[in-house]
Amino acid sequence: MYAGEYHKARLLGQKEAKLCQAKGGAPHLPVLEEILAVEVTCGEVSLGLVDVPLELVVGTRTAGRSRCFSRGFLPLMEEDSEFADKWMALCRAHMEEGIQDPIKVYEYMHTFYVVEGHKRVSVLRYFGAVSIPAYVTRILPARNDSLGSRIYYEYADFYQLSGVNYLWFSGAGRFARLQAAVGKGPEETWSEEDRQDFFSFYTHFSALYGDKSAKELAGRLTTADAMLLFLDTFGYDQVKNCTPAELKPKFSQLREAFSVKEALQNLVPLKGLWGR
């Protein structure tokens, strides 16, 4: 049974690696040490044990494990290898009792790179898990006037208040706007209930935004960008407890906003656009 899962995962990994190569990209995991070799950083901060979104776990700290996996953390090693045996043992543990041990990662520019726990990430991503517990060390990028730096440090400030690490905006000033949109003051922290309510809403919204029709209209907007437009339009208190079925007609209205050039470019508040 578990050998069959490894066989399927490896085939998917080989397919992904070949596709990346055909497109001119690297077939294996990005290596943080190589990225940092050409970047300027300004220290590290321990964030302790937190749940990390698996979709943001994108690489490895050092090059040693990079070639064991495809870009999506699918396994590539031979099926009679020690690596495969350990992967299958983790597969069994996941299916029988769940993988509980936290991994260790570095976070840099809102993406995560594994120090310990590569195979745990691989197994959980293969089975479609959303997050994994991890001990996180944040590497701080150089603070400057670039858009990337501004957005990152706005994210870091927002994270201190909210504990939310799965959002990313494409423009500056939007984390502060989100803080206000959910009814919080500029320096007000979130409770655990706040985080749970927001995650539930965000999960429902993300599922709708993932529709092909939405992506075609959205251009380069991130999910968080589109969500902020949605909250500007309908109000968080009015939608945070909505079911996906209740959100869907409102989301259909939001898609009309993608034809509003100013909204696309600047994410201006859209209150009143449909009579609200």
pLDDT at 100: 87
More confident site: 252 or 118? 118
Residue 140 has pLDDT above 90, yes or no: yes
**150 and 129 fall within a common domain:** no
Question: What's the CA gap between 6 and 13, in Å, rounded?
Answer: 10
Select from 142, 165, 197 the last residue of a domain.
Answer: 142
Q: Which domain holds residue 63?
A: 1-142
Model pTM score:
0.88
72 pLDDT above the threshold of 70:
yes
Domain holding 32: CATH number?
3.90.1530.10
Same domain? For 169 and 187 the reply is yes
> Do 90 and 151 fall within a single domain?
no
Examine the fold and report which residue of 111, 142, 173 is the final residue of a domain before the chain moves on. 142
80 and 216: one domain?
no
Asked if residue 266 and residue 228 are part of one domain, the reply reads yes
**Tens digit of pLDDT for each residue in 121-138?**
999 999 999 999 999 999
Confidence of residue 261 (pLDDT cuts 50, 70, 90): very low
- Helix, strand, or coil (residue 77): coil
If asked whether residues 29 and 133 sit together in one domain, one would say yes
Query: Would you call 30 helix, strand, or coil by DSSP?
Result: coil
Is residue 262 located within the same domain as residue 229? yes
Rounded Cα–Cα distance for residues 67 and 64 (Å): 8
Give the separation between CA 205 and CA 255, rounded to whole angstroms: 13
> Quick check: helix, strand or coil at residue 165?
coil
Mean of the per-residue pLDDT values of the chain: 89
pLDDT at 218 over 70: no
Tokens of 211: 């529709």
When pLDDT is averaged across residues 23-52 and rounded to a whole number, the result is 95
pLDDT number for residue 275? 34
User: Could you tell me if 151 and 116 lie in one domain?
Assistant: no
CA distance 214 to 223: 10
pLDDT given for residue 251 in this prediction: 82
Residues in CB range of 198: below 8 A, 6 or more apart: 162, 164, 182, 190, 240
Q: Are 245 and 256 in the same domain?
A: yes
Beta bridge partners of 134: 50, 103
Indicate the residue among 84, 108, 142 that finishes a domain.
142
211 or 231: which leads in pLDDT:
231
32 and 65 together in one domain:
yes
Query: How many separate domains does the chain show?
Result: 2
Six-digit token string for 271: 């209150």
Q: What pLDDT score was predicted for residue 266?
A: 54
Q: What angle do helix axes 118-126 and 2-22 make, rounded to 10 degrees?
A: 90
Distance CA 121, CA 127 (A): 10
**158 with 122, same domain?**
no
Looking at the fold, whether 207 and 181 belong to one and the same domain comes out as yes
